[in-house]
Amino acid sequence: MKTLRLSALTGLAAASLLLSGCASVRNIEPWVKPYERERLADPIMKFSRDSLPDKHREHWHDVREGARGATGVQGGGCGCN
């Protein structure tokens, strides 16, 4: 009886944690550690290296074509600090 009570309470607490865990990804460990990001920190892995030429390219695409949008990106890189 005692163990059932204890395991029932633990089970309930764990279940509520699991549910909250489903809303976030805290229960899965990030699989790329900050000390493994050497390749991602290289400039050739950046989505945009220099802003002026990329802005110019986006500008003439917008002017000469009917489609526009969804070009800007962030993220990746060295993940420092």
Partner 1 sequence: MLHARLHRACLVLASAAALLVSPLVQAAPVAPSQAAPDFTLRTMDGKNLRLQELRGRVVLVNFWATWCGPCRQEMPHLNRLYDKYKGSGFVMLGVNIDDEPEKAIGVATKLGLHFPVLLDSDKKVSRMYDLNTMPSTVVIDRDGRVRYVHRGYRDGYEDNYDKQIRELVKE
Partner 2 sequence: MAATRLQRWLAWSAPIRRTLRSREALRRVAVVLGGGLLAAHAAHAVDLPEDKAEGMIHVYSGGGVTASGPALLVRKNIADKVSLSAGYYIDQVSNASIDVVTTASPYRERRTAYDFGADYVYRDAMISLSMSHSKEPDYTANTFGVDVSQEVFGGMTTVSMGYTRGSDTVLKHDSPEFMDRVTHWQYRFGLTQVLTPKWIASANFEAISDDGFLGSPYRAARAFGTLIPERNPRTRSSRALKFRVNGDLGARNAMHAEYRYFWDNWAIKAHTLEGGYSRYFGELWLADAYLRYYKQSKALFYSDDAQAETLYLTRNRQLGTFDSVSLGAKLSYTWKKVPGQYEIKANGAYELVQFKYKDFTDIRTNSPYSFNANVLQLYVSATF
Rounded Cα gap, residues 21 and 13, in angstroms = 12
Count the helix, strand and coil residues of the chain and give each as a percent rounded to the nearest 5. Answer: 50, 0, 50
Q: How far is the CB of 50 from partner 2 (least distance, A)?
A: 5
Site for partner 2 in 5-64 (CB under 8 A): 5-6, 9, 17, 20, 24-26, 29-34, 36-40, 42-47, 50-53, 55-57, 60, 63-64
CA atoms within 13 A on the CB side of 72: 4
Which residues contribute to the site for partner 1 (CB under 8 A)? 3-4, 7-8, 10-11, 13-15, 17-18, 21, 26-27, 29, 33-38, 41-42, 78-81
